[in-house]
Structure 1
Amino acid sequence: MSNTSIADYTPTVAIVTGAAKGIGRAIALRLADDGFNVAVNDIPAEQQNLEVVAGLIREKGRQAVVITGDVSVEADVEKLVAQTVEDLGGLDAMIANAGIGAAGPLSYLDVEQFDRILAVNVRGVMLCYKHAAKQMISQNRGGRLIAASSIFGKKGVKYCQAYCASKFAVRGLSQSFAEELLPHKITVNTYAPGVIRTDMTKSDKDGDKHGSFVKSLFTAKEDAPDADPEVVASLVSYLCKPEAYFINGQSMSVCGGLFIA
């Protein structure tokens, strides 16, 4: 590989936040399939689900460590990175997947809820990037920073003000970090899912079709494309590979064409 590449070694250690279920769980398992030892993270209430994911990773012949914490709290993220390095020997890929959302009319938008969404979805990504990057720079072998944006981070829609704001912010944050970290051979990218069949896209307004309310926000019919979390996991796994060195500062849509930029 040429000396312009972002990584010229085999990455083996990843952190996945929000890994207890949904997209994060699928990413953790896919990375294990592709040769990574994985630190899985989520809030303490998800400890049991994290242990299940870790057990599945070990069944694949890879190492796994469970580290609970809140990504919006800097001390928790510092601990997450430090414990991963201690238990797994380093850090090659940080997948800042943890996120929360809410929907409702602007006139009923709760300020505390708004602040909490931005704290988890934006400050959480910043802290994961910050402390993972510090570790990767000290290792001097490149790395991957990857975060969850959304098609809601490419097109604002009604009723999702805080969530859209947070996912637009993740894109801007990632582009800025990508510029800054290029000399260290660390790429920074985001993935932008559409309607993925998880708890987050399920609404009591869906009727008989999971995700139909989310699709309606994009003026799409209820039979518009949706998919399982594994389709996102496959893209994230590719972005972690050495051959993905030429993809940097991008937000990759995984939405079946629901939104085309």
Structure 2
Amino acid sequence: MASTASSPGVALITGAAKGIGRAIALRLAKNGYDVGMNDLPTAAEALEALGQEIASLGRRSYIAIGDVSVPDSVENIVSSVVENLGHLDVPSPWNGRNFFAINARSVFLCYKYAAQQMIKQGTGGRIIGAASIAGKKGVRGLGAYSATKFAVCGLTQVAGQCH
């Protein structure tokens, strides 16, 4: 059974079903965080399996299915994680479908609604953006992908200045 004791907080991981998102969700659970997990409906089975792994680490998890390229969906994802896990401390925007809609716009939307929630809570929090090395150095043959990752890095830097 998952524990609620001594958690450093609640993290929301988008694109949690596989890859970097899955690895981040597991790392945060190992570090004691409860984890809100998001991905598209086609990834529900993988999220269920991830939730079981997180529970085996003694942490709580919640699955919030939705499309992070749609503002209302992101707002609902954040709200449902807060409703089920109590609050939000660490959102992490990652997903790998439509380059600009997911890699750039979704980051903006996740930051926006997570920041609004953290302000409402009055306790602050941390917003963490995950990009790849392509956000630091353009990758030949991956121009659009690299551009979106540069956007994530730039948005994260600016968000850090707007505290």
Where 1:94 maps in the other structure, the secondary structure is: strand
**Contact (CA 8 Å) 1:77, 1:131: kept in 2 or not?**
yes
Offset, 1:35: 1.2
Residue in structure 2 matched with residue 44 of structure 1 by the alignment: 41
1:24 alignment partner, one of 21, 24, 28: 21
2:54 alignment partner, one of 25, 42, 57: 57
Residue in structure 2 matched with residue 142 of structure 1 by the alignment: 124
**Alpha-carbon distance between aligned partners in 2 of 1:62 and 1:20, rounded to the nearest angstrom:** 17
One-letter identity of the residue aligned with 1:132? A
One-letter identity of the residue aligned with 2:127? L
Cα root mean square deviation, aligned: 1.2
Offset, 1:176: 1.3
Tell me the TM-score normalised to structure 2 length: 0.92
1:122 alignment partner, one of 104, 126, 151: 104
2:154 alignment partner, one of 172, 184, 187: 172
One-letter identity of the residue aligned with 1:42? D
**Alpha-carbon distance between aligned partners in 1 of 2:15 and 2:126, rounded to the nearest angstrom:** 17
Per-residue CA distance 1:173-231 (angstroms, 9 max, x = gap): 11111111x2xxxxxxxxxxxxxxxxxxxxxxxxxxxxxxxxxxxxxxxxxxxxxxxxx
**Alpha-carbon distance between aligned partners in 2 of 1:157 and 1:37, rounded to the nearest angstrom:** 35
Residue in structure 2 matched with residue 158 of structure 1 by the alignment: 140
Offset, 1:171: 1.0
**Alpha-carbon distance between aligned partners in 2 of 1:151 and 1:26, rounded to the nearest angstrom:** 17
**Alpha-carbon distance between aligned partners in 1 of 2:63 and 2:27, rounded to the nearest angstrom:** 17
Larger radius of gyration: 1
Q: Which runs of 5+ in 2 are unaligned?
A: 1-6
**Contact (CA 8 Å) 1:152, 1:164: kept in 2 or not?**
yes
Where 1:144 maps in the other structure, the secondary structure is: coil
1:11 alignment partner, one of 8, 13, 24: 8
Residue in structure 2 matched with residue 222 of structure 1 by the alignment: none
Offset, 1:99: 2.6
Where 2:156 maps in the other structure, the secondary structure is: helix
**Alpha-carbon distance between aligned partners in 2 of 1:54 and 1:179, rounded to the nearest angstrom:** 34
**Alpha-carbon distance between aligned partners in 1 of 2:146 and 2:125, rounded to the nearest angstrom:** 28
Between the two proteins, what is the percent identity of the paired residues? 51
Offset, 1:76: 1.0
The total of aligned residue pairs comes to 157
Where 1:16 maps in the other structure, the secondary structure is: strand
**Alpha-carbon distance between aligned partners in 2 of 1:122 and 1:142, rounded to the nearest angstrom:** 24
1:33 alignment partner, one of 7, 30, 33: 30
One-letter identity of the residue aligned with 1:15? L
| 1:71 and 2:68 correspond | yes
